Amino acid sequence: MATINVTRARAREVKAAARTRQRVPLGRRVRRHATGYLFMAGAVLCFAVFSWYPMIREVIMSFQYTNFAGNTKWVGLENYRHIFADPGFWAAWRTTGLFTLFALIFGYAVPFITALVLNEMRNARSYFRLLVYLPVMMPTVAAAFLWRWFYRADNTGLFNQILNFLHLPTVQWLQTSHIVSTLCLVLFSTWINMGSGVLIYLAALQSVPGELYEAAELDGAGALKRIWHVTIPQTKLILSLMLMLQIVGTVQLFLEPFVITGGSENTTSVVYLIYQYAFNFNNYGDASALGIMLLLVLMVFGGMYLWLARRVEQD
Amino acid sequence: MARMKIRKKAEQRSVSRTLFSQAQLNRPLGRVAYWSSFWVMIVLFALVFLFPLYWMATGGLKSAQEFIQVPPTLVPTHPQLSNYSTAWTDVDLGRLLFNTTLYAGGALLFQLVFDIGAAYAFSKLRPALGNVILFMMLATLMIPATVLVLPEYLTANNIPFLHWSLLNSPWVIWLPSVTNAFNIFLLKRFFDSIPEELLAAAAIDGAGPLRALWSVILPMSRPILGVVSIFAVVNVWKDFLWPLLVLTNTSAQTVNVGLNQLSVGLPENIFIAALAIASVPTIVFFLIFQRNIMSGLTAGSLKG
């Protein structure tokens, strides 16, 4: 109903605007356009220099042999062939994929479950909200170094101190295996990022109408059934949006391996590898080709999201 | 006191029914279950989110020996405040914090001026091809920032036509921060909701486009301006990869980049003290603006 009214109002507005446009003399119209361009000039310039031009340049560089010294020649698909042959390329994708998978299991589920529990709390609501958001506000690198200290393999790291205190055997956190190190990174990433997720889910949960729970309860649905049949369908839009944001965010993993593991145990991620290609191996072509691949993968996820969103809407 | 009671009552009334009904929680069994899970959550949150910060603050107070002691001391036996002053001077934290504040402030200013200008043009002035430009800006939302880092770095090092290098100058943080399509989108949507009649009335009173923006649109847009401003500041404060590449001079670095560079070679207890100091400004900022930050977070994501 509301949308129809808005559409009608909009149609009226457009008609009115069309009528006035006919009456406005040419000089005034030119001036209106010019003022419009003037107002957006700053942003357009910034976008042109720091967004649109680099995008084009990235595509071009991915087909070139080019480096810091500026020796540039066309090599066609050679860069792509080159990085496919690099074992580090597959390892980086495996790490990124594993991190994304773990982050989906932990980083995605934990904030939602936390929000579900917090939404039932009738007391100390601001205490919970304040605490969960504290890590989000820390400088990321400071938090990462803090966790690197917690993960120390000798007995001075916090986690091993706790295991010691409980008389449990200590763990070589970041030096055991590929999977354990990646899990450690996911744990840190969940800790520092979950605040925003929890707050967004809490807001979404508060908009779920109480009558639906009432009705489900009268129909004899237990708590888990109410979550499955009321809470999740009512919040599925925000859930799918957050899923997409989560995937796009985790595929761009860089800071965690860079600061916490330094790429040890094969924890070099794709973006970290781009960084290494460009700034350690001085090979801009390979770095750009890898960047383009990352972009294509993210676009696939974006497309999947759009397809999913449309299906959700149709249901 | 009385006002607090009234507020509390209002809060209780406004809490609508959730997964469990109030009646269910008022039963004896429900009450036990509620209060036990409540206290479990209180303790769990304190352990997970407060204890690491406590461990950092006290770790920075310990002497080098106490720092590596097994088992550790929960409260430092001989707290050394001098660790903090050593960290402050050795890491040059004053400069790092000043730099980051300067970058965040400038980024905020540039984003407000340029992004508001653009959103106003897209929403109200609507020049020819405006929608095409808006679409091109929004399309950059699909391209993650990390993909463009290398060509962006090369461009910043040698600006087309002008051949200036912006590296190690504040401009290299300020100008790219303007390319925040999400901010433009949020602002444009908000401006769209401001009735055209108000602007027409302002025009009849003789107000030009700039005057209309300043005295009609902006005063009505305070909530969205708050959201955009907070995220402009927080983004600069949290960014790492871009400043790592473009701020190579020690004297120009941000907190994140500086800490990363100085992590080797400092005694550990001093470095942890430095981490603690570096975390203070944003946490204080959060405690002051928590209401705005939290409401902005949900508004930005739900409506956006």
Mean pLDDT by 10 residues, chain B (304 residues): 51 64 84 92 95 93 86 87 91 92 95 95 90 90 84 91 90 94 89 89 87 90 85 88 93 92 87 93 88 74 45
Q: Do A227 and B19 touch (CB under 8 A)?
A: yes
pLDDT confidence of residue A14: 59
pLDDT confidence of residue A6: 54
**Same-domain status, B162 and B47:** no
pLDDT confidence of residue A196: 86
Domain hosting B206: range is: 91-262
Query: In the predicted model, what is the mean pLDDT of residues A234-239?
Result: 84
Residue type, A57: R
CA distance A178 to chain B (A): 24
In this prediction, the answer to ipTM > 0.95 reads no
Percent of chain A's residues with pLDDT above 90 = 38
**Same-domain status, B79 and B224:** no
pLDDT confidence of residue A234: 87
**pLDDT digit string (tens) for A7-36?**
566 666 656 655 555 566 778 778 888 889
Mean pLDDT, all residues of chain A: 86
Mean pLDDT lowest for which of A1-5, A274-278, B34-38, B88-92?
A: A1-5
**pLDDT digit string (tens) for A89-99?**
999 999 999 99
CA distance B281 to chain A (A): 9
Delineate the domains of chain A, giving CATH numbers in brackets: 2-61 (no CATH), 81-314 (1.10.3720.10)
Burial track A168-178 (b if 16+ CB lie within 10 A, e otherwise): eeebebbeeee
**Same-domain status, B41 and B157:** no
| Chain A residues with beta carbon closer than 8 angstroms to that of B156 | 50
**Same-domain status, B64 and B112:** no
* Cross-strand partners of A73: A65
Q: Do B25 and A122 touch (CB under 8 A)?
A: yes
CA distance A118 to chain B (A): 8
**pLDDT digit string (tens) for A145-193?**
999 999 988 888 888 888 888 888 888 888 888 888 999 999 999 999 9
- Which of B149, B167, B173 has the most A C-beta neighbours within 10 Å, making it the best mutation to test the interface with A? B149
Burial of B151 (0-12, 13-18, 19+ CB in 10 A): buried
Residue type, A251: V
| Number of domains comprising chain B | 2
Nearest-CA residue of chain B relative to A226?
A: B19
Give yes or no for residue A2 having a pLDDT over 50. Answer: no
**Same-domain status, B27 and B131:** no
Q: Dmax over Cα atoms in chain A, in whole Å?
A: 86
**Same-domain status, B82 and B98:** no
Q: Would you say B108 and A34 are in contact if contact means Cβ atoms under 8 Å apart?
A: no
Report yes or no on whether pTM surpasses 0.90: no
CATH of the domain at B163: 1.10.3720.10
Q: Choose among A106, A133, A171: nearest CA to B48.
A: A133
| Of the partner residues A43, A54, A141, the one whose CB lies closest to the CB of residue B152 | A54
Residue B175 falls inside a structural domain? yes
**Same-domain status, B97 and B41:** no
Tokens of B252: 């120009």
Query: In the predicted model, what is the mean pLDDT of residues A59-85?
Result: 86
A274 CB contacts (<8 Å, ≥6 apart)?
A287, A290, A291, A294, B146, B149, B150
pLDDT confidence of residue B10: 47
- Which of A47, A156, A212, A253 has the most B C-beta neighbours within 10 Å, making it the best mutation to test the interface with B? A47
- Which of B19, B257, B284 has the most A C-beta neighbours within 10 Å, making it the best mutation to test the interface with A? B19
Q: Do B297 and A205 touch (CB under 8 A)?
A: no
